[in-house]
Structure 1
């Protein structure tokens, strides 16, 4: 199988300017995802979609092929799907086609060495069309309504023990895998038969603040 990793990484970030190339544990943030993809035994190609010359330079030094995306697909309101679709279109025009696309978010850098390969094996084994990575969720969830607070995933009048709750899963944003047709026909990373790949809770760290950076650094040091 031909399997490509695509890592979208735009230059702009209002919350943390330059976060995709900021140093994390001695390496630029985006380099962690590129390195993890490079260590995969199943991934055949690694691409970074970006609008930023500095990200381009760092990504190429780390071993990825860069697909430059236009400014129209690099704003705050642009979806990851739009960058992925553009990247697939560029690759197709260069006669590059793939059986599976692995979409990695570089702001989720905490992955075990074999997470990517195990996720690929999982989608193949289940004969699914797309996959998302998740972590187990044992939290009691609430929401605001016009009539006041409302419990979502349990009955507060009959509070269960956490271990007795039905098992639920939280999307962690780390790994998505899909067949190209899923994205091309639905403009969504998920579609068709969907599988879930369960990861450790630490994988849910999504870097969007100074606290997230400190937390990720602490976990990387422990690993």
Structure 2
């Protein structure tokens, strides 16, 4: 191989080497990490035991029936409010009602079993049906639950139903039946989300 060819290859090799070295000046070290994050929503789970509060027949004016049941917080978040919606239907046996049978049924919400003489709120089924749930909470559940229901806790609700004896002719209600439906809606404590956000901000 001639000296010129050798020199030519040497220059080519040198040029190639410079190219590799030059390319290396643009390289850099790097590293990466991946985090796995989860957002799990808490649960509001209000249970009522028993689900059938009252089932009686052959009642007459003046009769009273006391029933108690539990409000249970089976969820992971505190319950601040319980909103009660009342609905009922009346089967008029004789078809001669001029008044609502629900107006004849008085409802007394009482404190728990060892304080049955302390009335929280008294109304009739007819009035209760027309009340806003927020108003029911204010009159009944706010005084009873006080600080709400914490997860895993329960409270007793005692209710006294009375077929009011008006002292007047109530024959129109003979044989009538009233089917009562109560719907309890639970709402979480207002500061549950705020506390969570504050914790997040403090950790950042």
Query: Which structure ranks higher in relative contact order (CA pairs < 8 Å, sequence separation ≥ 6)?
Result: 2
Task: With the length of structure 1 as denominator, give the TM-score of the two structures.
Answer: 0.21
Task: With the length of structure 2 as denominator, give the TM-score of the two structures.
Answer: 0.22
Rg larger in 1 or in 2?
2
